[in-house]
Structure 1
Amino acid sequence: MGTREASFLLGISRQRLLVLLAQGRVKGAEKKGRFWEIPVSESGMPRIIPARRGPKGIWHHRETTVPQMIHVNQKQIISNKGKPPEKLEPVVSLKHNERNYYGYDLYISGPCQIVYRPYKPAKCGAHLWINTYHPVQFIDTQFNLDPATARQPYKQIKR
């Protein structure tokens, strides 16, 4: 059979079938000039040879050497005074891998360290912050006055 009929029977596009043919993954297929001849099995379908998967990825296998930094922004707390609940800005920030995440309430799922450095502040200017190597989960990223609904898990940042 030709590529059009084979792709229809297999339920894949003709282009995908041509890629499989070029890789030699269609059992018994031969190219005759410009056209492919694809044999069918007893079930009336072409046989596709499964591909081997590539090597396993190496990302996120090493322990991180840079901790996640949790900072409670004192200036934001002061500027939030007197504002109605819908105008409050997030006061807790999580800094990890050059990215910032903001919220009002978070959970640290492992040991952490509170760091106070009055003479050597962090890049953001903080003198007091929390470092952790464990996952951090924001519980509230939209200020919610009802604690029952504010406790819905929002986002988990993994190391």
Structure 2
Amino acid sequence: MGTKEASLLLGFSRKRLLDLLGEGRVEGAYKNGRFWEIPVSENGMPVIIEGKRGPKGTWRKKKPTKPKMIHVNQSKIKGNIGKPPEKLEPVLSVKDGDRNDYGYELHIKGPCYIVYRPYKPAPCGARLWINTWEPVEFIDTKLNPPTAKQPNKQVCI
């Protein structure tokens, strides 16, 4: 990930992160041309190496140990082909701990990242998913058949 995303996750300014990168205090970070490449640990956060002097830093925000996992269920997408709008099953699931919520459209209120692991899938079998620690709000949990028949007017960038 880049410096902007890493500074948002860590909860401090991009300038402070650049200072830490220059001091070699971000584990595994390297420069690719003019840009920094910052790896994330298993908990989805960059690892900052503690300084040798001064008090212990208090800048890191406490995050839950596991992020929310947003998964698009490919088998449900295939199963929905040819079904009338009233019988469509939700294809989006948000896994938060032991809880699963399902819906058709959602909004992530903050930073997130996309994970693709073809050789190490998630326990549910997913090979591609989105992780976030931020709130996730379902916009549509019960598909509205009249809106399902209308063409999609969203613009993708």
Distance 1:85 1:117 in 2: 32
Aligned residue in 1 for 2:47: none
Asked if residue 87 in structure 1 is aligned to residue 68 in structure 2, the reply is no
CA deviation after TM superposition for structure 1 residue 65, in Å: 1.7
Question: What percent identity do the matched residue pairs reach?
Answer: 65
Asked if residue 121 in structure 1 is aligned to residue 121 in structure 2, the reply is yes
CA deviation after TM superposition for structure 1 residue 106, in Å: 0.2
Residue identity matched to 1:131: N
Aligned residue in 2 for 1:146: 147
CA deviation after TM superposition for structure 1 residue 146, in Å: 2.4
Distance 1:121 1:99 in 2: 19
CA deviation after TM superposition for structure 1 residue 71, in Å: 0.1
How many pairs are equivalent?
87
Which structure is higher in RCO with an 8 Å CA cutoff and minimum separation 6?
Answer: 2
Distance 1:146 1:72 in 2: 20
Aligned residue in 1 for 2:30: none
Q: TM-score, normalised by structure 1?
A: 0.52
Distance 1:96 1:72 in 2: 15
Long gaps (5+) in structure 2: 1-61, 149-157
Aligned residue in 2 for 1:69: 69
CA deviation after TM superposition for structure 1 residue 97, in Å: 1.1
CA deviation after TM superposition for structure 1 residue 87, in Å: 0.4
- Highest Rg: 1 or 2? 1
For the aligned residues, what is the CA RMSD? 1.6
Distance 2:70 2:147 in 1: 24
Q: TM-score, normalised by structure 2?
A: 0.53
Specify the SS of the correspondent of 1:77.
Answer: helix
Deviations 1:1-41 (CA, angstroms, capped at 9, x unpaired): xxxxxxxxxxxxxxxxxxxxxxxxxxxxxxxxxxxxxxxxx
Residue identity matched to 1:146: T
Distance 1:98 1:123 in 2: 12
Long gaps (5+) in structure 1: 1-61, 148-159
Displaced runs of 4+ in structure 1, greater than 6 A? none
